[in-house]
Structure 1
Amino acid sequence: MKKEIQHALEYIGDTTNVDVLKQVGGGDINQAYYVRTKEQGYFVKGNQKVSSHFFRVEAKGLSLIRKSNTVRVPEVFYYDEPEENGTGVLVLEWLEGTKQKDTLQQLGTQLAAMHNQDGKAHGFEEDTFIGSLPQPNGWYESWVDYYHDSRLVSQFNLAAERDLLPSNRKQRLKKVMERLPDWLEHQPKPSLLHGDLWGGNWMAGPNGEPVLIDPSIFYGDHAFEIAFTELFGGYSIEFYEAYKEQLPLPEHYEDIKELYQLYYLLAHLNLFGEMYGGSVDRILKRYVG
């Protein structure tokens, strides 16, 4: 990736010598690097087989969050749009810091403010990604239609292609998808959502300030995002208290929480295989027996 990184730095006008270039963590599906020039430090992500818009939509998501003036995100310096399955690079501001005792409380307050940024409809203007999986989008007036058509159907089709839907799982999943309106009767506003907010996609920046990274941006029910934060941990009681003080969750949140978590478990099933099958089955049995 050295050649691509050097080209990116030259493009943004940093022609000083690269003093440090080392691979770092934080790249589950990408290669990640800390790059230090005489000018400044950068966080660089690269991938040798990506869709042409893979890093562009991530940069767009970071830009939308930045424009909301709610939660800090790294500044985007550069992204490219390679040919399909080509080598892509994303160059971001390097941020680091240590979590303070009020960092998660700040994150809860700031995330609620971000969720109070309304969109024109549910969805997004172009397709994105959840991990390495393509995430179809579009604009929907109805949240339940968006969740059905864009979220669950796409994961159902992928799982079927990958032979991850044995007969009972497939039939139960079909029933849940058919009956979504029975559980999702509310009409949430289309909130600006990060879209992939597991515990590894936020970090502490300078002075302990919370920073969001790696978005899969779209507009939807804010309870959908909170449900995912509860799936794999990484958030404190103080985070949820601060969040709900600014933006309460719907009264029936506990009834629909696992229905929302189902999408992310299906995505993990498609990414990592049958190790997530039992969790998918448990939720399906809860809703359709």
Structure 2
Amino acid sequence: MQDFFQQALANIEDHSEIKKMERVSGGDINDAYFVQTNEQAYFIKVNQDVPRDFFEIEANGLQAIKDTKTIKVPEVYFYNQPEQDEKALLILEWIEKGSPNASSSKLLGEQLAKMHHPQKDKKFGAPHDTFVGEITQENGWYEDWLGYYKEKRLTPQLNLGIENGRIQAGRRKKLEKLINQLDKYIEAHPPVSLLHGDLWGGNWMADKNGTPYLIDPSLLYGDHAFELAFTELFGGFGNDFYTRYQDIFPLPPHYEEVKEIYQLFYLLVHLNIFGEGYGASVDRILDYYV
């Protein structure tokens, strides 16, 4: 692996010796490494048997967030587009991790709200497919958010669940019914915001100074309530985060009514990836709305 990293680092003109290389935590999908050369430290992700653009999509998402000049992301140094049987690799800036506190949580809320600032010249969706976990997330541009959420988010998860046997019988009927009456809950034309797309507690971090960083995006343009609903699903965001966010960009009055329908998408993803452990949560939401 060291030779592989050395060759990859040559693409960014770091020909210096690798002094240290060790495995670090980096999520369920990728192998992740801390690599220290004589010049600097890097965070390197590695995967295999993934699409050629797997890391390119992540790199583009990080760049899009960086371009908003609202919130920090790790610098992208290099990614490859591997041929079949080759390893995929992404080289990022190494961020020395600190302990999130009330100040960093508050700053995260402020900066995320600014990142979500409505963009009048954008449609809903994304220009290319992304990934949610290991699942390919098909995208496209839509004039209305309701159509996008129905056709590109809930319906594909329904179809995948039918295919893998995890959405059957009553669960299937209720989900189909909810999708068909989605216009009772979802706005067709909310403000269009740039969204991280996979913002749970593990996809943000604070550096040693408490400055928040976003990582591992699955970018799209959509309703900012969709993003905030997911932040509430698995925790990792303090009260200071939500208070400061609302100061900058208030959530719509119907947020509590629609929140669990937005969380349903992510629960369906987890059901389809990890199995029935998420089934009870899916059923609880379906029983409430249908």
Give the shorter-chain TM-score range. over 0.9
Question: 2:221 corresponds to which residue?
Answer: 219
State the Cα distance separating 1:83 from its structure 2 match.
2.9
State the partner residue of 1:82. Answer: 82
CA shift, 1:117, in A, is 5.1
Give the C-alpha shift of residue 189 in structure 1. Answer: 1.8
CA, structure 1 residues 136+88, in 2 after alignment: closer, same or farther (shift >3 Å)? same
In 2: Cα distance, 1:132 partner to 1:154 partner: 14
Q: Is the 8 A contact 1:52 1:85 kept in 2?
A: no
Paired residue for 1:104?
105
Q: Deviations over 1:169-215 (max 9, x none)?
A: 00001001111111113521220000000000000014110000000
Report the secondary structure of 1:55's partner residue: helix
Q: Deviations over 1:117-156 (max 9, x none)?
A: 5261001000000011100000001000000111111111
Given candidates 234, 258, 263, the residue that maps to 1:256 is: 258
Distance of aligned partners of 1:20 and 1:191 in 2 relative to their CA distance in 1, 3 Å threshold:
same
User: Which of 233, 248, 254 is matched with 1:246 structurally?
Assistant: 248
Q: Is the 8 A contact 1:51 1:86 kept in 2?
A: no
Native 8 Å contact 1:51 1:83 kept in 2:
no
How far, CA to CA, are the matches of 1:126 and 1:83 in structure 2?
A: 20
Structure 2 unaligned regions, length at least 5: none
- Does the 8 Å contact 2:144/2:188 carry over to 1? no
- Structure 1 counterpart of 2:7, one-letter code: H
How is 1:46-65 mapped onto 2 (pairs within 5 angstroms)? 46-65=46-65
TM-score (structure 1 length as normaliser): 0.97
More off after superposition, 19-28 vs 213-222:
19-28
Within a 5 Å distance, the mapping from 1:130-279 to structure 2 comes to 130-185=132-187, 187-279=189-281
User: What amino acid does structure 1 have at the position aligned with 2:194?
Assistant: L
Aligned residue pairs total: 288
Q: Secondary structure at the match of 2:245?
A: helix
After TM superposition, the score normalised by the length of structure 2 is 0.97
Structure 1 position 5, deviation (Å): 1.8
Aligned partners of 1:266 and 1:85: how far apart in 2?
A: 31
Alignment of 1:1-150 (within 5 A): 1-83=1-83, 86-98=86-98, 99-116=100-117, 118=119, 120-150=122-152
Measured in 2, the distance between the counterparts of 1:38 and 1:10 equals 13
Distance across 1 between alignment mates of 2:240 and 2:84: 43
Mean CA deviation greater in 70-79 or 2-11: 2-11
User: How many percent of aligned residue pairs carry the same amino acid?
Assistant: 51
